[in-house]
Structure 1
């Protein structure tokens, strides 16, 4: 009975997402009359119409909007409960699924999760890398325990709890023999260089644009936009271009001589690192340890002691900055 009720809620949410019964039936690979019958059962249960016809699409009524919010929350909670029960039944030491944005998931999160895995040999740890909005959706639907993603004031984290952890300085990454001359540059000088950027509209692009406007600058023009930091860095090194990147993403390349880190002297540009999770989320000991580790790193990066009860149980359970970034030069690249 519970499975059938949850399936009806999932069907209802699918109809909302697809904007119609036919497309929902095709997506779920079921007969259209069956979908219509299930919707009638739901409407009878709540004693109110949930949809009205809007041209060729179905639109939610006011009651439908309220029901949709409740249904999405129930489905997300049920997904989380199923995962928790499966882990208990399997006798695992615990599972952790983290959703991350691109650069954060490539450079920042893996060393942290590796340190956590060394401390908990039976842990089942997974990290999914995507753009921030997709990472947040994964948490909202219960498919990830929390997300670590680029912070943007324009993000809409509802219904998630959003916590800004720390800010990473941005530097100009340049080819070893390319422009500019020297290890320092002004913001106006950056604008005159051939630059590689991230795709327009992603969180990093929006937050960078807002900071540039606060310094009285228009949007930068790019010779090319690429969707991953590794591709951007390769393009910079091969063509003598430049890119604005968080210091942690270029530290290893600077150490190896593949790139130069050029400090921006008249502006402090940053990437915010955010933690996102469901308000009602119950964290297992493993998941709580991961959250505490993130907060410990945030406190260390800010130069302040960890809040009571938030520090890891032992120093070894949370990597210091050298472990997280590979080298303390990730801090000094901005100076």
Structure 2
């Protein structure tokens, strides 16, 4: 079917005049009339009939005009969809995130993003460090937000560090090491309350001990959530090794106290990971741009 001729016919039907259609398109009336006649032959239907000094639609022409209106309305919708998708106004973003960014960073980022891009659907999957990269590699996530410093990223993963924060040893205010300077070996004599195996911060603590030839930490209580682990320390049991982003407010209010371990200044990296050599959708790209421009830095 000649869609150009259908469009000419639709404009004649909409304006009720070959003359007005000619004026809108800047095409001569004979040229329009000729193309519509060829279109009628193509369909083997008479679409227009003479009426006085003008033209009118035949019954077939009236019904085809209705169908053409629907067709070109859908065309407009398709054009709008393509524009919105290209500009990132619509789409879907699947984010895999480790616990720290998922609970302490992403909510603010997403709220800011959704103010401008309400039409974008977002799903967040919180997992451990290995799980976040696995979901990215398995095409189950578009981006991964990673908190920690993994020993090595796979070659298939592109990584951009967003910012760094400190990792702190914290205890309850009444603890004997509260606000004290001690050695890492002394710190490792204390019972630790930590998250489960697979937590990047937990792995960092073990790696720190290996690097400084200190005893491994005694994790005497573990939880699946960081909030629960911090709450146990707040109640007076054990110590925790945690991002400063998580406990800074509690330390400033005096609910928790830092322990200063000599010669140890561990840093935590917050990074965004994508699949290597695979461009992001416009929606995901704009989300990453927002994160870059609104980092939440430790003070």
Who is 2:104 aligned against? 107
Provide the rounded CA distance (Å) in 2 between the counterparts of 1:188 and 1:124: 48
2:234 to 221, 234, 237: 237
Structure 2 unaligned residues grouped into runs of 5+: 1-80
Q: What's the RMSD between the two structures over aligned residues?
A: 2.9
Who is 2:139 aligned against? 142
Structure 1 unaligned residues grouped into runs of 5+: 1-83, 297-311, 313-317, 322-329
Tell me if the contact between 1:183 and 1:262 (Cα under 8 Å) persists in the aligned partners: yes
SS of the residue corresponding to residue 239 of structure 1 reads coil
Q: Which consecutive aligned stretches of 4+ in structure 1 deviate over 4 angstroms post-superposition?
A: none
Cα 1:122/1:242, change in 2 over 3 Å: same
More strand by share: 2
SS of the residue corresponding to residue 235 of structure 2 reads helix
Tell me if the contact between 1:171 and 1:264 (Cα under 8 Å) persists in the aligned partners: no
Cα 1:259/1:181, change in 2 over 3 Å: closer
Who is 1:76 aligned against? none
CA drift at 1:209: 2.0
CA drift at 1:224: 1.5
Who is 2:185 aligned against? 188
Structure showing greater radius of gyration is 2
Tell me if the contact between 1:94 and 1:122 (Cα under 8 Å) persists in the aligned partners: yes
Cα deviation per residue 1:77-117 (whole Å; 9 max; x = unaligned)? xxxxxxx99x95xx963332211011221112222222222
Cα deviation per residue 1:288-332 (whole Å; 9 max; x = unaligned)? 1222344x3xxxxxxxxxxxxxxx4xxxxx2554xxxxxxxx43x
* Normalised TM-score (structure 2): 0.62
Cα deviation per residue 1:138-182 (whole Å; 9 max; x = unaligned)? 212222111011344445534322344443211112113233243
Cα 1:141/1:226, change in 2 over 3 Å: same
Higher RCO, 1 vs 2 (CA within 8 Å, ≥6 residues apart): 2
